[in-house]
Structure 1
Amino acid sequence: MAVVPLAAHFHGDFVLKLLPVETTNTMDEVAAAAAANSVGIHVPGQPGRTLRVRKQGVDAPYARESTVAESGLEPTECIEIYYE
């Protein structure tokens, strides 16, 4: 288990944030961590909608149960978090 700092862009937020995550975190956990820094602060919540994570510039999201280690994301790579 290791910490990987990712650049996170939450859809609708105007601030790119540094998000430290563990290599064992799932994409659902990554999305929740990013939401804690944006939802209710810069982005309105959307109850009942699922948060998804994708690598910046890629259309398809990661599988929700896949881990940071499995994604192959490198430190400071940018991810996008959005409501599905």
Structure 2
Amino acid sequence: MDENNISVEEVMKITHKSREFIINAIQQGCFPGSVAISGTRRNVHIPRKAFEDYMNKFSKSPSEELIIALLNSLNEKSALKKGHTT
């Protein structure tokens, strides 16, 4: 595969899904990519950027704004505790 595409095998490792699941999801339009059927063979094309965008939609990582807000809140609470104990 070239750098612009991602293989089904790579997607399988990342998503922990079977080859059949991934190909069916692409065919049903639930997953980025395309499938060309030639006889009994299904040729799969998954653009790497589209796959990364799709996966980032479901990212559980906190945003930088959330991290900063949490740190500010923690610092404020810490300052309040120090003020009450002194």
Q: Normalising by structure 2, report the TM-score.
A: 0.28
Higher relative contact order (CA 8 A, sep 6+): 1
Task: Identify, as 1 or 2, the structure richer in strand.
Answer: 1
Larger radius of gyration: 2
Task: Identify, as 1 or 2, the structure richer in helix.
Answer: 2
Q: Normalising by structure 1, report the TM-score.
A: 0.28
